[in-house]
Amino acid sequence: MVVADKSSRVVKEKSVMNNCEFVSINDTVQIFTVDVYHFFAETISKGKKNDHAMHNICLDKLVEIYKVIFREELNVELKVIIVWTDNAPHQYRCRQNFIKIASFAERHPGIKIIHRLAVVDNFKGFHDAVGKDPAHLVRTKELEGVQSPTGIAVFENCKELLEKTETKWKRYEEANDPRLKDKGKYGMNSRKVFFVVETEEEYIRLSLLYPGRILLCDRSFIQDTHQDKAINGTTQLHEIRSTVDTSSNVSGPRNWPVKVSNLPCNCLQ
């Protein structure tokens, strides 16, 4: 589950006085565009699927979505992405994920990523409640006879019954409706669901049924899977950057081109 804040702004309110309409700025209230994305995957085979590989496939998809949103709706280019996560060792605090962070600019040229690991045991918030919505929907529908026995069934039911592509907040903002101030930081603008598959055959088959909603997580090209361990002490890691070349007169991070290749597991480099 991902909750993405696209932008922040103040509230504009329309009022009528002496049969004349006025639009005023309420700078005491700040609102955000909040989009919620749910990613589902099958777990019937051995191993957890919500690992660093799935995380980065979903992240790349979100970046592509917001490139288009920023360009078409805001008329600006996406330049910086800030990712907040907990400290799950096999998702975010592992060598494999740090390799993906270090090579992010190769996949998305011109965009800087900042991955912030939250303080341990202090990362509860509204995003946890949003993540419970699919589980609540599945339980409720089971009592009504609508079953979700597989991951794809959960995706299909959530897409039909939980997804929202437009809410009242957009209408309020377009009309300068004073009720927009009730939105605050957490009022949801949209909710979309996606499904992650592990084989190209499944990707092709399901993409025909759900165009744009199926992601392929190819695990045959994952770097550095040695013993599947997290790096010690990385809860205090703040920034990843290239090393300093102490053998020359370079005073900062190295300034020659760097290529991080996407090599198969256990290969010779």
Measured from the Cβ of residue 218, the count of other Cβ atoms closer than 10 Å reads 14
Residue 202 CA to residue 180 CA, distance in Å, equals 42
State residue 186's pLDDT score: 77
Q: Looking at residues 185-207, what average pLDDT do you find?
A: 90
Better-scored residue on pLDDT, 257 or 147: 147
Quickly state the pLDDT bin for 98 (edges 50, 70, 90): confident
Phi/psi of residue 222, nearest 5 degrees: -115, 125
Over residues 179-192, the pLDDT tens digits come to: 887 887 778 888 99
Helices (H), ranges, the chain: 52-73, 95-102, 104-107, 126-131, 133-143, 151-161, 168-174, 200-209
Better-scored residue on pLDDT, 239 or 147: 147
pLDDT over 80 at 125, yes or no: no
pLDDT over 70 at 230, yes or no: no
* Listed ranges 89-98, 116-125, 158-167, 232-241; the one with the highest mean pLDDT: 158-167
State residue 222's pLDDT score: 66
Beta strands in the chain (DSSP E): 2-17, 20-41, 80-85, 112-117, 188-197, 214-216
State residue 256's pLDDT score: 41
pLDDT over 60 at 242, yes or no: no
pLDDT over 60 at 249, yes or no: no
Average pLDDT of the chain to the nearest whole number: 75
Give pTM, 2 decimals. 0.73
* Residue 47: Cβ-neighbour burial (10 angstroms; 0-12, 13-18, 19+): exposed
Contacts 24+ apart (CB under 8 A), 24-32: 26/181, 29/181, 29/184, 30/185, 31/169, 31/173, 31/180, 31/181, 31/183, 31/184, 31/185, 31/187, 32/5, 32/6, 32/7, 32/8, 32/185, 32/186
Over residues 29-88, the pLDDT tens digits come to: 777 888 899 999 887 655 566 788 889 999 999 999 999 998 998 888 999 998 888 888
State residue 78's pLDDT score: 92
Give percent of the chain with pLDDT exceeding 70.
Answer: 66
State residue 68's pLDDT score: 93
Quickly state the pLDDT bin for 20 (edges 50, 70, 90): low
Q: For the chain, give every domain's residue range.
A: 2-224
